[in-house]
């Protein structure tokens, strides 16, 4: 049994005193690493890689071999849950996820009928088993799902749109269908995340990339409500939950009613402001702009320092990017970022 008290990331989440600010990177296993690209090639593509437990475990561990990261994250995708609805998912190079038959009405859901049981995703659970064995308690493993709203946007749009025309039209014109779909995804997500927990993930996370498309009241009604439902239904036994919201801006009205442990924010918000508003409720994760990893060491140092200054002294902060790392970033820059943080963050933790 791992002794969770040894994980600095969990101490940061629980606001226990720590020696330095911990860090992990969204999409840390990804295309910016040549070894990831090679393993993906070996697997025969992204989806085949996810469905191959040995290779999915291998890419999960790759960034940890290079960098002193404080967490690992399961190599998978939030859209894999569509397997349970028997919806055909492809990932097309430079285009992203595509569903050949996206959903547009209740009729489509009726045609799908009863979803498959979560055992169908056994390849994910096998991957978790392998990763836990390999990690051997070195760093915690983060398991995750997409928020029902964010997953619904892809199931309805069928691809990575920038406009979200279809889903916003359905929101206005066919709310009953949208709500049925959100309820269905919520139920599947609970089963799926619960099973990840039973296989030993140490931290859970919900990615709500597109919650911010909605105005405040809609955000509550179509996204946050289901996050709350997920948290209330799951049996977590002290395993923390990180809720990541992109483009939050000033939509704080309903967030304080969330019973989460960590709020993950992107670089469009001021971490000082978020801490003032919600820091007594949650720990905060973020929020370096990925663009800074394209700049030189001096600017990178300044930015790290600025974020640490804004958060201020003490525990409760997990350093991360505001969004996933992109394929163009040089791996050396990630090493530099971690070195800088290890160098300057200890002085924010002297009691
Ligand atoms: O962070 C990690 O390393 C864990 C694995 C992970 C991936 N996707 C791997 C991935 C996680 C947690 C996700 C979450 C995810 N997936 C989100 C929410 C977070 C976010 O980025 O906003 C979303 C919206 C998706 C859906 C998705 N997957 C899109 C829109 C795309 C295409 C865009 C892109 O970055 O390529 C993906 C592909 C994807 N997911 C890749 C990886 C490593 C790239 C696949 C490749 O190798 O081609």
Distances (CA, A) of 166 to 34, 156, 162: 37, 7, 11
In short, whether 21's Cβ falls inside 6 Å of ligand 1 is no
Other Cβ atoms less than 10 A from the Cβ of 90: the count is 14
How far apart are the C-alpha atoms of 109 and 99, rounded to whole Å?
14
Ligand 1 centroid from CA 27, angstroms? 7
**Is the model's pLDDT at 2 over the cut of 70?**
no
In short, whether 90's Cβ falls inside 6 Å of ligand 1 is no
**Is the model's pLDDT at 337 over the cut of 60?**
yes
In short, whether 31's Cβ falls inside 6 Å of ligand 1 is yes
In which element (H, E) is residue 340 found? Answer: helix 331-344
Q: What pLDDT is attached to residue 94? A: 86
- As a whole number, the mean pLDDT across the chain is 96
Which is the closest atom of ligand 1 to the Cα of 96?
32
Which is the closest atom of ligand 1 to the Cα of 324?
21
How far apart are the C-alpha atoms of 38 and 202, rounded to whole Å?
28
Ligand 1 centroid from CA 324, angstroms? 8
Q: Tell me the per-residue pLDDT of 104-127, one tens digit each, with 9 for 90 and over.
A: 999 999 999 999 999 999 999 999
How far apart are the C-alpha atoms of 80 and 89, rounded to whole Å?
8
In short, whether 69's Cβ falls inside 6 Å of ligand 1 is no
The residue whose CA has the least distance to atom 7 of ligand 1 is 77
Buried-exposed string 230-266: b where 16+ CB fall within 10 A, e elsewhere: bbeebeeeebbbbbbbbbbeebeebbeebebbbbbbb
In short, whether 37's Cβ falls inside 6 Å of ligand 1 is no
Which is the closest atom of ligand 1 to the Cα of 37?
47
Q: What pLDDT is attached to residue 5? A: 52
The residue whose CA has the least distance to atom 43 of ligand 1 is 30
* Mean pLDDT calculated for residue range 34-49: 98
In short, whether 115's Cβ falls inside 6 Å of ligand 1 is no
**Is the model's pLDDT at 207 over the cut of 70?**
yes
In short, whether 2's Cβ falls inside 6 Å of ligand 1 is no
Supply 18's token pair: 């720590």
In short, whether 151's Cβ falls inside 6 Å of ligand 1 is no
Asked if 240 and 10 count as a contact pair (C-beta separation under 8 A), the reply is yes
Ligand 1 centroid from CA 181, angstroms? 22
Q: Tell me the per-residue pLDDT of 251-291, one tens digit each, with 9 for 90 and over.
A: 999 999 999 999 999 999 999 999 999 999 999 999 999 99
* Mean pLDDT calculated for residue range 196-211: 97
Supply 205's token pair: 């996370």
How far apart are the C-alpha atoms of 155 and 209, rounded to whole Å?
14
In short, whether 310's Cβ falls inside 6 Å of ligand 1 is no
The residue whose CA has the least distance to atom 40 of ligand 1 is 77
The residue whose CA has the least distance to atom 3 of ligand 1 is 27
Give the start-end residues of each E strand in the chain: 72-73, 89-92, 96-99, 141-146, 203-208, 241-245, 262-265, 283-288, 317-321
In short, whether 79's Cβ falls inside 6 Å of ligand 1 is yes
């Amino acid at each position: 049994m791992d002794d969770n008290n040894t994980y600095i990331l969990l101490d940061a989440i629980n606001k226990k005193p720590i020696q330095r600010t911990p860090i992990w990177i969204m999409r840390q296993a990804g295309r910016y690493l040549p070894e990831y690209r090679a393993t993906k090639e070996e697997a025969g593509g992204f989806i085949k890689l996810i469905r191959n437990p040995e290779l999915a475990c291998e890419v999960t561990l790759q960034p940890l071999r290079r960098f002193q990261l404080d967490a690992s994250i399961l190599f998978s995708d939030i859209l894999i849950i569509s397997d349970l609805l028997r919806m055909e998912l492809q990932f097309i190079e430079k285009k992203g996820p595509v569903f050949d038959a996206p959903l547009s009405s209740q009729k489509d859901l009726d045609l799908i009928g009863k979803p498959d049981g979560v055992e169908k995703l056994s390849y994910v659970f096998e991957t978790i088993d392998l990763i836990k064995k390999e990690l051997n308690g070195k760093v915690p493993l983060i398991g995750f799902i997409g928020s029902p709203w964010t997953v619904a946007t892809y199931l309805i749009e069928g691809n990575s749109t920038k406009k979200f025309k279809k889903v916003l039209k359905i929101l206005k014109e066919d709310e009953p269908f949208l709500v049925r779909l959100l309820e269905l995804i919520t139920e599947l997500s609970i089963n799926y995340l619960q099973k990840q927990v039973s296989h030993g993930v140490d931290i859970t996370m919900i990615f709500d990339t597109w919650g911010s498309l909605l105005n405040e009241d809609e955000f509550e009604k179509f996204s946050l409500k289901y996050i709350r439902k997920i948290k209330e239904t799951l049996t977590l036994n002290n395993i923390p939950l990180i809720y990541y919201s992109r483009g939050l801006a000033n939509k704080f009205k309903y967030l304080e009613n969330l019973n989460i442990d960590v709020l993950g924010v992107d670089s469009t918000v001021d971490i000082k402001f978020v801490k003032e508003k919600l820091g007594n409720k949650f720990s905060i994760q973020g929020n370096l702009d990925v663009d800074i990893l394209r700049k030189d060491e001096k600017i990178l140092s300044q930015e790290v320092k600025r974020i640490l200054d804004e958060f201020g002294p003490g525990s409760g902060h997990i350093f991360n990017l505001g969004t996933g790392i992109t394929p163009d970033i040089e791996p050396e820059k990630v090493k530099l970022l971690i070195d800088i943080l290890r160098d300057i963050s200890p002085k924010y933790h002297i009691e």
